[in-house]
Amino acid sequence: MMFVLVQVGNAGEIQQYFNDTACKVKATTDPAQKRVILNQSLQTMSKALDRVESLGLISQDDRTGINNLKTDLQEKLDELAGSNGYERVSDTQLNSFSDYVVQSMEQADRTITISVVTLLLIIIILILIL
């Protein structure tokens, strides 16, 4: 029971990170700045995942979960930029896209399995990057 509570709490930190990003996007009126905020947020999380993965301290299951999450983040970056076959998110849809990223991370919490230790490493590295 404690394991589940800790895991949900830590996954909530990652969701909160993207929720904070969505709030920043909505508080900004300039579409170019909104795009920069989203891009930086997605890239920062990707860097944190790369660093955790490079530590070599994680299990194969965690590595699989991290790779799935990194793939999801890359797809969001591609959609934001309009690359790799994705249509670019229009300036008028950036607020909605930021909400979509938050919802996607909430769903990833249910479909991507990462251990508590790995989640803690991601959060620590994310804090250090910021």
The pLDDT score that the predictor gives to residue 113 is: 65
The pLDDT score that the predictor gives to residue 109 is: 59
Q: Report, as ranges of residue numbers, the positions in the chain whose pLDDT lies below 50.
A: 1-10
Output the DSSP codes for 53-115.
HHTS-S-HHHHHHHHHHHHHHHHHHHHHHT-TTPPPPPGGGHHHHHHHHHHHHHHHHHHS---
Confidence (pTM): 0.81
The pLDDT score that the predictor gives to residue 116 is: 73
Where in the sequence is the domain holding 65, given as residue range(s)? 2-129
User: How many domains would you assign to the chain?
Assistant: 1
Predicted confidence (pLDDT) per residue in 5-29, tens digit: 333 344 567 888 999 999 999 999 9
